[in-house]
Amino acid sequence: MTHPLSRRNFLVAALAVPVATVATAGPALAVDQHDQFTAASTKYGVPAAVLAAVSYGQTRWEDHAGAPSTSLGYGPMHLIDGAAAQAQRDAAAGKRAATVIDTLGHAATLTGLSKDTLRTDPAANIMGAAAVLAAAQRTAGHATGAHTDPATWYVAIASTSGFSAVASQRGFADDVISDLRSGVAKQASGVRLELKAGKVGSVTSQRAVLSKRLAAADQATSGKIDAPKGLPVEWVEAPYEQLSSDPGNYGNHDLGNRPVSPALNTIVIHDTECSYDEALKLVQMPTYLAWNYTVRSDDGMIAQHLEAKDVGWHAGNWYVNAHSIGVEHEGYATAGPTWFTEAMYRKSARLIAYLCKKYQIPVDRAHIIGHDQVPATTMNGIKSMHWDPGPFWDWEHYFELLGAPLTRGTKGINRFSAGDMIRILPGFDGNEQVVTGCDTNNPPICVVDGPQPGTNFVTLHQQPEADSPLAQDIGLHPGGGPSGSGPADVGARAAAGEDYVVADVDGDWTAIWYLGNKVWFLNPAGSPTARLLKSGVKAKPKGGEAIQVYGRAYPESSAYPDPDWDAGVSPYTYVWGADQEYVVADTDVPTDYYKAWFYDINTPNDHIDIVGKTKYYLVYFGHRVMYVQADDVELS
């Protein structure tokens, strides 16, 4: 039997038995004992566990069917096509950019295998990486051998990582050694892949070698950098400039006094839809717009552009901008030709975990959100809202890296009941939801039509039938027609980590309240795609009457010192029905409007936070989070 994930996970694909058999009988698959790792270990004298740990750190044991990452890395070992990546990076920078390490070319030279074979054949890819690692080990003056201490491979692991920055190399080697010591595992469509904890000696002396290189490569860094110690971050400042004599004509962000006022309570995850170098050029344009951080694909290098106190123009919703930090990730939401790298996931998660702790931002899917969850300020703006990082961003893995797995606070049960609060958790690998067509880039990026091998959502239908129309979203489809399956159409998607209230159950189908409608998703008892929330807060309308929802928590008109400043509240035309319940994600929502209309921060009555008395709650109302006025609902 060919496993359905053969396009992505070479370890699972190599099993010649049904997934259910492997999942329920016998131990987990010991990754370092897989013949593709052991064969490479025997031939080149690299411990199989080292190869397995490097592969996990690069790709989480996935081969992506020969498709490249955004940084043009291939296969389970992420061998980088340095020649092509260098040309791509030079073109984006408009000059000779930092040198790309050509691990693919080096592997081809050492093994005699063609680059195409190394890109597309997982076994060859592992052989190539083993050859590169062994050569680096000998260069470092250390012995090779399948049973050598993994600690002696520290410098070789760092130097063959494909990362150009020494800090990134050291960070990767640290991660690999940590994974070897503690062990790592993942689920792949019912199969548990596991690298067991092993004995690893001290790496102190080898780490000192890289530390000396890092000290030599270090340049002066800005005191404005806001990131955890040891994370590779550079300061690339976003300009704050007046563009004409008009004091209201300036760019590319606003000055502020956060987290004092306005408060910080949200992280918005974006992707760049361009290369890292292009993104850095854009954020340095006074006439463009700014966000707080950009994360590079190949090694997770981070550029910071704004201090947390200032407000970036990144989310398409001024209320969300005022309360959020925006983090861009090099990559494409459609992910047709490329995929998000493990290095980027890991470095991003370390940054976000630090920011959440420092600024007391809740670590959940209502406060760490994708741009695709940001609501528009008004109903008319919904169709133009962005949808990155898209259906191929692995939220479940990301929250594991944050140290807050989305399964926390949930319980697996066989059957839900109406009124239960549940969390969507379909898994990523093997969650084969349909995404078809092209995105809105120019030229467009397209996906292969049909079920994708890994997605982060469940599809919502109007009836408990797979062939029934998809759920409606009158914001995206004002005519009332069903949502589509295009990459940008989020109207019929409930994403991993989002919480909803059960409206009904019919066999393997579960209904939830969503955008004012009862919609259905497939949730079979043998392979559930949602879990019960052990505790939480839900809301329903008071007085048995339908109520309105909002895209911002702005103050009432009487809160504004000048009526001309009134930004309004602008309810949506979505209707929260009298019998419907939704999960409340936050009962402590700031009610305010940050007035920053002019360039000079010392302008009287400007750069001020106008606070109102109307109380709002943050709710999971559809794919995007929204707000409801507290006086309109009762909680339970």
Interval 45-62 mean pLDDT: 97
Model pLDDT for residues 328-339, shown as the tens digit of each residue: 999 999 876 789
Indicate if the pLDDT at residue 273 is higher than 70.
yes
Q: How far is CA 187 from the centre of its chain?
A: 18
Output 150 or 429, whichever has higher pLDDT.
150
Mean pLDDT of 22-28: 47
Helix (H, G, I), strand (E, B), or coil: what is residue 422? strand
Which range among 61-65, 315-319, 415-419, 440-444 shows the weakest confidence by mean pLDDT?
A: 440-444
Predicted pLDDT of residue 188: 77
Phi then psi dihedrals of residue 495, to 5 deg: -90, 160
Tens of pLDDT along 496-508?
999 999 999 999 9
Element (H, E) at 476: none
Q: What is the mean pLDDT of residues 23-36?
A: 74
Give pLDDT, residue 8: 62
Residue range(s) of every CATH 3.40.80.10 domain in the chain: 233-540
Q: Is the pLDDT of residue 418 over 50?
A: yes
Give the Cβ contact number of residue 249 at 10 Å. 12
Return the pLDDT at 220: 55
- Confidence check: pLDDT of 96 > 80: no
pLDDT tens digit sequence for 222-232: 789 999 998 99
pLDDT, residue 40, reads: 98
Which CATH architecture is the domain 10-216 placed in? Orthogonal Bundle (1.10)
Helix axes 342-359, 48-59, angle to 10 degrees: 60
| pLDDT for 20 | 33
Domain 233-540: top CATH class:
alpha beta
**Does the pLDDT at position 541 exceed 50?**
yes
Distance in angstroms (rounded) separating the CA atoms of residues 420 and 426: 18
| Region 379-403 average pLDDT | 96
Q: Which residues of 551-575 are buried (b: 16+ CB within 10 A; e: fewer)?
A: bbbbbeeebbeeeebbbebbbbebe
* pLDDT of 88 over the 90 cut: no
Helix (H, G, I), strand (E, B) or coil at 195: strand
Token match 């910080």: residue? 264
Q: Average the pLDDT over 101-111 and give the result.
A: 96
Please indicate whether residue 338 or residue 190 has the higher confidence score (pLDDT): 338
Using pLDDT thresholds of 50, 70 and 90, give the confidence band for residue 441.
confident
Q: Report pLDDT digits (tens) over 107-130.
A: 999 999 999 999 999 999 999 999
pLDDT reported for residue 6: 36
Query: Does residue 23 have a pLDDT over 60?
Result: no
Task: State residue 600's pLDDT score.
Answer: 97
Across residues 41-56, what is the average pLDDT? Answer: 98
Q: Is the pLDDT of residue 453 over 90?
A: no
Q: Which helix (H) or strand (E) holds 38?
A: helix 35-44
DSSP string, 248-305: T-EESEE--BTTTBSPP-EEEEEE-SS-HHHHHHHHT-TTS---SEEE-TTT--EEE-
35-44 and 48-59 helices, crossing angle to 10°: 120
pLDDT number for residue 5: 32
Residue 211's pLDDT band (boundaries 50, 70, 90)?
confident
What's the rounded mean pLDDT across residues 184-208? 90
pLDDT of 3 strictly over 50: no
Of the listed ranges 31-35, 301-305, 464-468, 551-555, the least confidently predicted one is: 31-35
Spatial distance between the Cα atoms of 404 and 400, rounded to a whole number of angstroms: 6
pTM for the full predicted model: 0.94
In the chain, ranges of CATH 1.10.530 domains: 10-216
